[in-house]
Structure 1
Amino acid sequence: MPPERPGNALPFLLLTSFRVLIDELHARLAEMGHPDLRPAHGFAMQMISRGGSISDLGRRLGVSKQAASKTVAGLEKLGYVERRPSALDQRQIDVALTARGVEALTASGEILNQLRDEWADTVGEQEMLLVEDVLARLGGFDGLDRFVGWLGA
């Protein structure tokens, strides 16, 4: 029996669901005092939270050092990150989240937990667990590392 949807519908279903989730995340972050954060900022802040320099950030994001520097400058201007002398190498400057950056990243995690629960309320907990299990089997559990470099955020 042929599927009800063609195979080319799957990427759009996944992307649309992702977009709905991320748009709602950012609407709620804006309500909490973070109106200038964008999805690419979230990916960058996740990588910055792991520590390291602008070059490290560029490697993690799969972008040039110049692109990473531009992202850091934007986040710095918004008050989410700061540059600090490296504790390991005094010639190196590291990038770190500020208290505002930690607050935004923590809030993002809490909001995503709420959104997941809201989706489960909509489709049922068993269906939500099934979706998560299937996506984890298909894509693997190391999604952020694989996705961000591919995206070129």
Structure 2
Amino acid sequence: MNSLRAGYELPLLLLAGFRTLVDELHDELARRGHPQARPAHGFAMQAIGPDGATASDIGRRLGISKQAAGKTVDRLIALGYAERGADHADARRRLVRRTTHGDEMLALSAAIFDRLRKQWAQTLGEQQLRTMEDGLRTVAAPNAFRLDTTRWLGD
């Protein structure tokens, strides 16, 4: 039996696992009151951070133009996940802040991801899942996870 596997399968399997988790997350978010939430919204909400950020900051963190960040922010505001307001430290700047609704969506997402991880642990076994996670931490570049991942996938 040949145990050699084609190298191209590994990134496809990793992407398929990622896609499976994210699709299941968004299916449940839709069922639980967030039908218009999209994966890019989660990245943008993280880029806003708990203290708020300017559109320029968000664009830089996501690796997109200020104009694209502005459109994303407009969408988050329309969905009630974010709001624009004055920067109390600098009256010339406008900050984007997450709303309570946005923070609730992020908290719900975290809880759903925890549940999905438990499902994977039941399917694979907790030790096998931990071994996989530890292995990925070992081989992943130190700064491989960045908020601009959606841009990287799209280019």
Normalized against structure 1, the TM-score is what? 0.92
Alignment pair present for 1:69 and 2:61 = no
Which residue type is aligned with residue 119 of structure 1?
A: W
> What are structure 1's unaligned runs of at least 5 residues?
none
4+ residue segments displaced more than 4 Å: 140-143
Contact 2:40 2:150 in 1 (8 A): no
Deviations 1:98-119 (A, max 9, x none): 1110000000001001101110
Q: State how many pairs are aligned.
A: 151
Q: Find the residue that maps to 1:35 and give its secondary structure.
A: coil
Q: Find the residue that maps to 1:92 and give its secondary structure.
A: strand
Provide the residue aligned with 2:86 in structure 1.
85
Q: Equivalent residues in 2 for 1:99-118 (5 A)?
A: 99-118=100-119
Give 1:137 deviation, angstroms.
Answer: 1.2
Provide the residue aligned with 1:27 in structure 2.
27
Provide the residue aligned with 2:43 in structure 1.
43
Identity %: 48
- Kindly report the root-mean-square deviation, in angstroms, between the aligned alpha carbons of the 2 structures: 1.7
Deviations 1:60-106 (A, max 9, x none): 00000000000000110011100010122110001111111000000
Provide the residue aligned with 2:150 in structure 1.
151
Which protein is richer in helix relative to its size? 1
Which residue type is aligned with residue 31 of structure 2?
A: E
Alignment pair present for 1:14 and 2:40 = no
Q: Find the residue that maps to 1:90 and give its secondary structure.
A: strand
Distance 2:88 2:2 in 1: 60
> What are structure 2's unaligned runs of at least 5 residues?
none
